[in-house]
Structure 1
Amino acid sequence: MTSTAEKRYSGVMRLDGKRALITGATKGIGADIARAFAAAGARLVLSGRDETELAQARQALGDEFGTEVRSAVVDLADSDGPMALATAASEAFGGLDILVNNAGISLPEPVVGTTAENFDATLAVNLRAPALLAAQVGAAMVDQGTGGAIVTVASAAALAPLPEHYAYCAAKAGLVMATKVLAQELGPHGIRANSVCPTVVLTEMGQRVWGEEAKAAPMIARIPLGRFAVPHEVSDAVMWLCSDAASMVNGVDLPIDGGYTMG
């Protein structure tokens, strides 16, 4: 029986045979992107920090969609993590066609209470790691000579300030600009680089930070559609950006925010 996901990703929205690395692939948005890509026929390399969770994801996706799934246990907060992951992922299927830079953390705190420890940790995972990983994967794609697609999961917090997210906003804004540089430098090699910028997404992390109605209500009031996003709304956009349907789309930062950042 054809699943709902397989029906959604038919025709031009297919990734049959494409080799894709997805970071932070066992939870939240990353897990949903992995499932969408598996439904669209991609061969997957999933990365995360927990081998048990990765093994469960490999098994579940392989059983449901019959696709090849590999994994790499890497802590992207480590200085050598991006290089180690780029190497392992490229070796899994003899190259990569797609990178989805999704892994991230959120350590909310007000400006006046910002600690160096949390600031550095946020920038290490949310900016340094994905930027260096994209540079390494991009270089490998250039050597392959077959083009490719890089998608950064940034945030609406990269486009509009968000209270108590000082380091997070700075990291995500930097990552959006880094992705534009990737688009500019790698574009001549047929490699497209784009960002998606979601508002709050109702994942486990989103619920943890925004689950209290008193905190969520003012934020929702600023979103014309009157709600937060759900994971598949991000996955659908990422899928489109990685597919041939977006073959002329390069260097964009696409808000997925119900109109929050439109002004």
Structure 2
Amino acid sequence: MEISFAKKRALVTGAGKGIGRDTAKALVKGGASVIAVSRTQSDLDSLKAECPAIIPICVDLSNWEATEKALNAIGHVDLLVNNAAVAILKPFLEATQEDFDKSFDVNVKAAFHVAQIVAREMKVRGTGGSIVNISSQASQAAIEDHAVYCATKGALDMLTKVMALELGPHKIRVNSVHPTVVLTAMGRIKWEDPENAKYMISRIPLRKFAEVEDVVNAILFLLSNKSSMINGALLPVDGGFLAS
């Protein structure tokens, strides 16, 4: 299935590493003009070196005012990937107010804010668009030491549904993807150890973790016109974890 993003402008948050970085590169390869957002300048510099066409923006999305300043003048955006996130994993009784606030500021509030900025302009232009929020299997399944993270992703799921409901009449589709453990560079450090991986793998019917490409392909599909009748969907990329 050929997917083209020619003449489209895309914004990807959390584009410095992992899923966001590979999504930004895939969109460029598909013909899109891509704005890559990260809070780490060195990651943007290396991404720019790989893909000179990318437009980098360095901003901490948990800062509402800085985000407004950085994104309000970027012009029109057809495609948005809300990928920026933090994962602070602690037992429920050990999680702190700081952990809670930081997690919700990035995983929910920043996604909400960036989508508002982009969708307002989409509505004014009247040409529609597609937004994909990156959620997690942890939004729908309780996982030990993930109390705060699970809560943020559950909130993001409901935000996705309400956005789909309210923005759909303006030809703006909103969906989310829900990966299992993804073998990013950082993910491999923990999860390639068979002892660490044993329990989680046992809960995945396909008995394997996701590669970054698996998630990127799902994102590209939901962004594209190939999914033009899909709106408000929560798409698992989890090898059957949520079905078991």
Task: State the TM-score, normalizing by the size of structure 2.
Answer: 0.95
- Matching residue of 1:104: 85
Q: Following superposition, which runs of at least 4 residues in structure 1 exceed 6 angstroms of deviation?
A: none
- Matching residue of 2:12: 22
1:211 is displaced (CA, Å) by 4.7
What CA distance in whole angstroms lies between the structure 1 residues aligned with 2:70 and 2:166?
A: 22
- Matching residue of 2:164: 183
* 1:230-260 CA-partner distances (Å, limit 9, x unpaired): 1000000000001110011100000000000
1:122 aligns with 2:103: yes
- Matching residue of 1:5: none
1:84 is displaced (CA, Å) by 3.1
Which AA in structure 1 matches 2:60? Answer: D
- SS of 2:175's equivalent? strand
* CA 121–245 in structure 1, closer or farther in 2 if over 3 Å, else same: same
1:59 is displaced (CA, Å) by 2.6
Which AA in structure 1 matches 2:20? Answer: G
1:40 aligns with 2:25: no
What CA distance in whole angstroms lies between the structure 1 residues aligned with 2:222 and 2:100?
A: 30
Q: Which of 30, 38, 41 is equivalent to 1:51?
A: 41
1:130 is displaced (CA, Å) by 0.6
Which AA in structure 2 matches 1:153? Answer: I
Q: Which of 231, 238, 247 is equivalent to 2:219?
A: 238
* 1:142-186 CA-partner distances (Å, limit 9, x unpaired): 011110000001101011111101110000110011011110000
- Matching residue of 2:94: 113
Task: State the TM-score, normalizing by the size of structure 1.
Answer: 0.89
1:82 is displaced (CA, Å) by 3.7
Mapping 1:36-185, distance limit 5 Å: 36-62=26-52, 68-88=53-73, 91=74, 94-185=75-166
Is the 1:24–1:103 contact (alpha carbons within 8 Å) kept by the matching residues of 2? yes
What CA distance in whole angstroms lies between the structure 1 residues aligned with 2:102 and 2:186?
A: 17
1:49 is displaced (CA, Å) by 1.2
Please report the RMSD computed on the Cα atoms of aligned residues, expressed in angstroms. Answer: 1.5
- Matching residue of 1:213: 194
- Matching residue of 1:222: 203
Unpaired runs of at least 5, structure 1: 1-9, 63-67
What CA distance in whole angstroms lies between the structure 2 residues aligned with 1:27 and 1:53?
A: 7
What CA distance in whole angstroms lies between the structure 2 residues aligned with 1:253 and 1:208?
A: 28
1:212 is displaced (CA, Å) by 4.1
What CA distance in whole angstroms lies between the structure 2 residues aligned with 1:166 and 1:155?
A: 13
What CA distance in whole angstroms lies between the structure 1 residues aligned with 2:189 and 2:109?
A: 24
- SS of 2:145's equivalent? coil
What CA distance in whole angstroms lies between the structure 2 residues aligned with 1:209 and 1:171?
A: 22
What CA distance in whole angstroms lies between the structure 2 residues aligned with 1:54 and 1:235?
A: 19
Which AA in structure 2 matches 1:226? Answer: R
Unpaired runs of at least 5, structure 2: none
- SS of 1:261's equivalent? helix
* 1:18-75 CA-partner distances (Å, limit 9, x unpaired): 100000111001111111111110100000012232122123123xxxxx32111110
State percent identity of aligned pairs.
41
Which AA in structure 1 matches 2:58? Answer: V
Which AA in structure 2 matches 1:69? Answer: I
